[in-house]
């Protein structure tokens, strides 16, 4: 895997069940854990927006450096 990838998912998502959607997708990505990350929330399809935004911004800073 060459592209950095962040996967955010809800453990209780009825639309895209975690065990048949984001978990298998993440495993298929391959690559090192330094370039990919998976975050699972104790929610359904709607993720907690403030936490998801913070997680995304932190991950982007880690992968590409902070915004100057």
Residue 15 predicted with pLDDT over 90: yes
pLDDT score of 1: 54
Q: Which residue has the higher pLDDT, 14 or 67?
A: 14
- Work out the pLDDT band at 68, boundaries 50, 70, 90: confident
- Work out the pLDDT band at 8, boundaries 50, 70, 90: very high
Q: Is 34 within 8 Å of 5 (Cβ atoms)?
A: no
Among 3, 21, 4, which residue's Cα sits nearest to residue 12? 21
């Amino acid at each position: 895997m060459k592209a950095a990838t962040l996967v955010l998912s809800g453990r209780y998502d009825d639309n895209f069940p975690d065990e048949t959607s984001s978990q298998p997708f993440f495993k298929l990505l391959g690559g090192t854990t330094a370039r990919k990350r998976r975050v699972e929330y104790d929610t359904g399809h709607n993720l907690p927006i403030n936490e998801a935004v913070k997680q995304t911004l932190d991950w982007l800073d880690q992968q590409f450096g902070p915004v100057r």
